[in-house]
Chains A and B, each alone.
Chain A
Amino acid sequence: DAGVTQSPTHLIKTRGQQVTLRCSPKSGHDTVSWYQQALGQGPQFIFQYYEEEERQRGNFPDRFSGHQFPNYSSELNVNALLLGDSALYLCASSSPGGYTDTQYFGPGTRLTVL
């Protein structure tokens, strides 16, 4: 049973550039959430996608956008990169049906902005 997969593993960009991160959910899951984890902090919720639409959004600027495809995979796009965007970006998947659904995380993409 394939778990949540993310690509790439590591990424180095410069300020002002744009980046796209990818996520494939766990088999049987159709909801994808994205989190940003800064060094020494817990993950922070960016947004969640369900049925190809953004269902919830955290306190992140519009530079952060996303997309969900018909096969439930998802992309996170960040425009006009800032040094402060350097972090581990985590994707989590779950299935719908209520608050008891546990989110399962991928290994993350480490983004470094120079």
Chain B
Amino acid sequence: DQQVKQNSPSLSVQEGRISILNCDYTNSMFDYFLWYKKYPAEGPTFLISISSIKDKNEDGRFTVFLNKSAKHLSLHIVPSQPGDSAVYFCAASVEGAQKLVFGQGTRLTINP
């Protein structure tokens, strides 16, 4: 049972444009969401998070949007840079559990 889904295995975006990565979840108990970026041969690096009491959180070029009614979150990267090319994972957890449930990942490629 895949509780967190990233339905796009890959995404290609032109440098300078906006990258939008999507994530859907099925467990309504999830109340904390995170995005991680992963380069080859490295562990996931934390990017940005959002709790269920908010619908938007920004950190520099990265913005995460949460739509609780649709059980959907998205990560916007503006402007996209070549160094953003990596695999992006969304993850979710239930308060107090600290166990992260990950999606399958989306490979983002930024073209010059």
| Binary contact readout A90-114 vs B (1 if CB under 8 angstroms, 0 otherwise) | 1010100011111111111000000
B103 A45 Cβ-Cβ under 8 A: no
CA distance A43 to B43 in the complex (A): 10
Q: Tell me the minimal C-beta distance from A95 to chain B in angstroms.
A: 10
Question: With A90-B44, A107-B42, A108-B43 as given contacts, are A42 and B103 in contact (CB-CB < 8 Å)?
Answer: yes
Query: What would 14 A/B residue contacts be, using CB atoms closer than 8 Å?
Result: A42-B4, A42-B102, A43-B89, A43-B100, A45-B99, A56-B98, A98-B95, A98-B96, A103-B100, A105-B46, A107-B41, A107-B43, A108-B42, A108-B43
Q: How far is the CA of A17 from the CA of B93 in the complex (A)?
A: 34
What range describes how many residues of A lie at the interface? 20 to 34
Interface size on B, residues (CB 8 A): 29
In the bound complex, do residue A42 and residue B89 qualify as a contact, i.e. CB atoms below 8 Å apart? Answer: yes
Determine whether A40 belongs to the interface, using a CB cutoff of 8 Å to chain B.
Answer: yes
* Across-interface contacts of B104 in A (CB, < 8 A): 40-42
Tell which of B12-20, B31-39, B63-71, B72-80 binds the partner.
B31-39
Expressed in whole angstroms, the minimum distance between the Cβ of A6 and any Cβ of chain B is 8
